[in-house]
A and B are shown apart, each in its own frame.
Chain A
């Protein structure tokens, strides 16, 4: 069992881990088809050399170092080495387009950028004339960088080598590094995480070392994490979730973080590594389930029958078995059989068979989706967190799991609900403020020192757990006063494998309409099995048979809404399928893949108008941004479908 204790900075924790778990793996990375490992002792040696090398390049206390790329040991090491020198690492979303990147690098005053590969180096170079303070770019993968100007570009491997030689040659340099580690204090800014910015420009959340470590000590105790655990570091480096789970908890608990071979091989890598602790936003669980269902459609009939039979069994008994509540003997036996035949093999395929604790957060998860994973025996729990809290605000303890709540306050977290219904908190990991933005910091805090979350919620009377309804500003009402919670409807729609994204409209309108994105994987597979020919995503999305199929899903959502008194009036009257996939490069999604409803409503204004004026077709032309930043337009004629309303809808009748 490890904790932070008197270790109040990450470099001190690194030295502790090297002494305490010296021979245990700290990092793994699949490279050239093989999992390469580094022990804590090796990592400590590398970081010392790397820090010495960076010192020789002129990196000093208080400087900022931007880190751009996917999860690579050398990029995590850059953060550690920077912290050794009391410089501040700033991880940046690697899929950010050049302009967004330039904004963050300029705002953070980055002196040095650690880039993963040629793609990221190119992006930084393309905006370097806007970054006068930037003097070095260091990189991990040399591929394609042969002909580049060497004056500002250095390989991370070379810096480590240089540091190692220098350490051997001049003992004073080593002393200086040790002194820098000793001098580090818990009140130092450990990292600046830029929020993805659902609204407006990104803000730099400053976190102190002491706060990060205190928060992580609480949660590692809460979930009993030790140096024997393993995580797969696959989420964006710049997201608080990855920084917390991979980096901070890794150092605090002393466990191993495994970096995948590439972003396309994550599933295979997860299967090989078998993580024991797993955090994923709901969309990843959704994508896994979609692919699973698609593959089951192609399976032999006997397997399909077995699968559906045991899924029913799981639905009946799974939750009770998992939480240890009484289950009739027959149920217990048949569930055990199901575990042997279906559930364990299923979890194995998904790479989840070793998982002791899994969390989902960042967005509300569909209750059916949540129940599915729990029913097959995955200890999936919800957490509600924020970058400003350095992650945990609430989390569900083992045994007290409800799909519609996010759990009681996490250890040492203090929550209050404002009169407006907004959730506010104080937590050990709480941020120090936004970097260079006093005004925004003041806006985010209450006078008595709580942080505003911007989410509307309340404490459930029965369980005492927190329930989040939606973003406080998103909950609206239809013209007749029926409550309209867009996120709630969208999540219901998105549970169907054919639907990838949904945006609903209804606030101050007479009825509810929806724009949908089909899931290309699921629908393409369906098209293949049913001999539906198509040439492009756009053609597939507009296909009448696809519309018929999706209409069935929408009808099912309406049926389920009819059963809920409060929301029966918010059934979906009309829908359309968008001709392009929503994309963060076009600003339609945030970098964490959340839909930006307002922006989409503006961008697709002609379609919204058509949804409400009774038209059955509408023309739309939109500008799209390609990955390299170039722009183009696509035009399409989008069809609109009318839906039947289910059940007694008195309020609607009155409104119409």
Chain B
């Protein structure tokens, strides 16, 4: 059930700064994500949205600032540690194994949950088999959830883009994450695919209670889906609040429409 709890902060980002040489991608950005909410990060091109996500899941290491996830503060973390800690993500450009079936791709999302060693798995015998059945069941539930039964056995390289995005979401869900990071889940989709994807995002939030942080360009979608929106521009947070508050913010209007200097 969806029950955003105002008191329970899942992720706290405090004064994060990130620079690539002379380019300052993020400057003293702070925001938080509450447990059970859908949180959007928006901003014009080059505002530092993807950098922010990369910092959160440990792909980039911030030059300053601290990140607190599930009560543990740290300055530095590797992506696999983030994954093990319960952060899953999808990518702006679909990053799937093109030659593998949709089913196998989603199965890879279970990797971190596998308890038996490589040898057992290779033998596919005894406890390893029982475990695989268990994982497969979980994956089939996700396939059912995302309504992709028809493409279960199809190599993802042959699928249309909208479906590939859905498979990628499935793989992220297979990790049973506490925090799901979606990097432009609707980029390059047509209206119908966007509607489908929006429905799945809301359903994931409702059904699994997963906290979601997403980056998106389509304003209508963001305003519809999110509980709270943070706006970045040139690496600085310029607004933060409910969709309505953000829509009224002069700073946001200026950033998107441009102002006469």
> Does residue B250 face the partner (Cβ distance < 8 Å to A)?
no
Among A32, A146, A264, contact of B1 (Cβ-Cβ < 8 Å) = A146
State the CA gap A261–B143 with chains docked (Å).
12
A143 within 8 A of B: yes
What residues of chain B lie closer than 8 Å to A126, measured between beta carbons? none
Q: Does B218 sit at the interface, judged by CB under 8 A?
A: no
Judge whether B98 is part of the interface by a CB distance below 8 angstroms: no
Asked whether A132 is an interface residue with its Cβ less than 8 Å from the other chain, the reply is no
A32 pairs with B150, CB closer than 8 A:
no
- List the A side residues contacting B136 at CB < 8 Å: 33
From B150, B152, B203, A144 is in contact (CB under 8 Å) with: B203
Is B207 an interface position by the 8 A CB rule?
A: yes
Q: How near does chain B come to A294, taking the closest CB pair, in angstroms? A: 16
CB distance from A295 to the nearest CB of B (A): 14
CB nearest neighbor in A for B199: A144
Q: Convert A116-156 into 0s and 1s, putting 1 for each residue whose CB lies closer than 8 angstroms to a CB of B.
A: 00000000000000000000000000011011000000000
A470, chain B: closest CB distance, angstroms: 37
A560 within 8 A of B: no
Indicate whether A147 sits within 8 Å of B206 (C-beta atoms), given known contacts A264-B149, A265-B150: yes
Complex: chain B residue closest to A260, CB-CB: B149
CB nearest neighbor in A for B203: A144
Judging by beta carbons under 8 Å apart, are B149 and A265 in contact?
yes
- Tell whether, in the assembled complex, residue A261 and residue B203 are in contact, meaning their CB atoms are under 8 Å apart: no
CB of B191, distance to nearest CB on chain A (Å): 11
Tell me the complex Cα distance, A34–B139, Å.
12
Across-interface contacts of A147 in B (CB, < 8 A): 2, 206
Are A32 and B144 interface neighbours, CB within 8 A? yes
- Point out the residues of chain B lying under 8 angstroms from A264, CB to CB: 149-150
B145 beta carbon closer than 8 Å to chain A: yes
Main secondary structure of the interface of B (DSSP, over half): helix
Residue of B nearest to A262 (CB): B149
B141 at the interface (CB under 8 A from A): yes
A261 with B206, Cβ < 8 A, contacts A32-B140, A32-B141, A33-B143 known:
no
Pair B149/A143 contact, Cβ less than 8 Å: no
State whether A143 touches B150 (Cβ < 8 A).
no
Residue of A nearest to B147 (CB): A262
CB contact under 8 A between A146 and B149, given known A32-B144, A33-B140, A33-B143:
no
- Residues of chain B from 190 to 214 with CB closer than 8 A to chain A in the complex: 203, 206-207
What's the tally of chain A residues with a CB closer than 8 Å to chain B?
13
Residue of B137, B149, B152 most packed against chain A (CB within 10 A): B149
A261 and B140 CA atoms in complex are apart in Å by 12
A31, A143, A147 interface centre (most CB from chain B within 10 Å):
A143
Contact A146 B150 (CB under 8 A): no
Q: Which chain B residue lies CB-closest to A146?
A: B206
Dominant SS among interface residues on chain A:
loop
Task: Write the A10-33 contact mask toward B (1 if CB under 8 angstroms, else 0).
Answer: 000000000000000000000111
- Residue numbers in B under 8 Å from A32 (CB-CB): 137, 140-141, 143-144
Contact between chains at A33 and B152 (CB < 8 Å): yes
Most central of A31, A33, A261 by chain B CB within 10 Å: A33
In Å, the complex CA distance between A34 and B143 comes to: 12
* Contact present for B150 and A262 (CB under 8 Å): yes
Bound-complex Cα distance A147 to B149 (A): 25
Query: How distant is A118 from chain B, measured CB to nearest CB, in Å?
Result: 10
Within B86-139, which residues are at the interface with A (CB < 8 Å)? 136-137
* Chain A, Cβ-Cβ closest to B138: A32
Q: Give bound CA distance, A264 to B150, whole Å.
A: 6
Contact at B207–A146, with CB atoms within 8 Å? Answer: yes
Q: Smallest CB–CB gap between B134 and chain A, Å?
A: 12
In the complex, chain A residues whose CB is within 8 Å of the CB of B141? 32
Contact B149 A261 (CB under 8 A): yes
Residues of A near B203 (CB, < 8 A) are 143-144
Nearest CB in chain B: distance from A585 CB, A: 15
A 26-49 binary contact with B (CB < 8 Å = 1; else 0): 000001111000000000000000
* CB-CB nearest in chain B for A31: B144
The interface residues of chain A lying within 8 Å CB-to-CB of B144 are 31-32
- Closest residue to B150 on the A side, CB-wise? A264
Chain A residue nearest to B140 in the complex (CB): A32
A31 CA to B150 CA, complexed, in Å: 13
What chain A residues lie within 8 Å of B143 (beta carbons)? 32-33
In the bound assembly, the distance between CA atoms of A33 and B101 in angstroms comes to: 14
B108 to chain A, nearest CB (A): 17
CA distance A262 to B147 in the complex (A): 9
Residues of A within 8 A of B147 (CB): 262
Q: Mask for A246-265, Cβ within 8 A of B = 1, else 0? A: 00000000000000011011
Give chain B residues whose Cβ lies under 8 Å from the Cβ of A262.
147, 149-150
Inter-chain CA distance A33–B137, complex, in Å, is 9
The answer for the CA separation of A121 and B35 in the assembled complex, in Å, is: 30
- Closest partner residue, chain B, to A264 (CB atom): B150
Interfacial chain A residues near B206, Cβ < 8 Å: 144, 146-147
CB distance from A270 to the nearest CB of B (A): 14
- A143 and B152 alpha carbons, distance in the complex (Å): 20
Residue of A nearest to B143 (CB): A33
- A interface residues (Cβ-Cβ under 8 A, vs B): 31-34, 143-144, 146-147, 261-262, 264-265, 268
Q: List 10 A-B contacts (CB under 8 A).
A: A33-B140, A144-B203, A144-B206, A144-B207, A146-B1, A261-B149, A262-B149, A262-B150, A264-B150, A265-B150
With A32-B143, A146-B206 given, can you name 12 additional A-B contacts, CB distance below 8 Å? A32-B140, A33-B136, A33-B143, A143-B145, A143-B203, A144-B206, A144-B207, A147-B2, A261-B149, A262-B147, A262-B149, A264-B149
Q: Which 6 A-B pairs have the closest CB atoms?
A: A32-B140, A264-B150, A33-B140, A261-B149, A265-B150, A262-B149
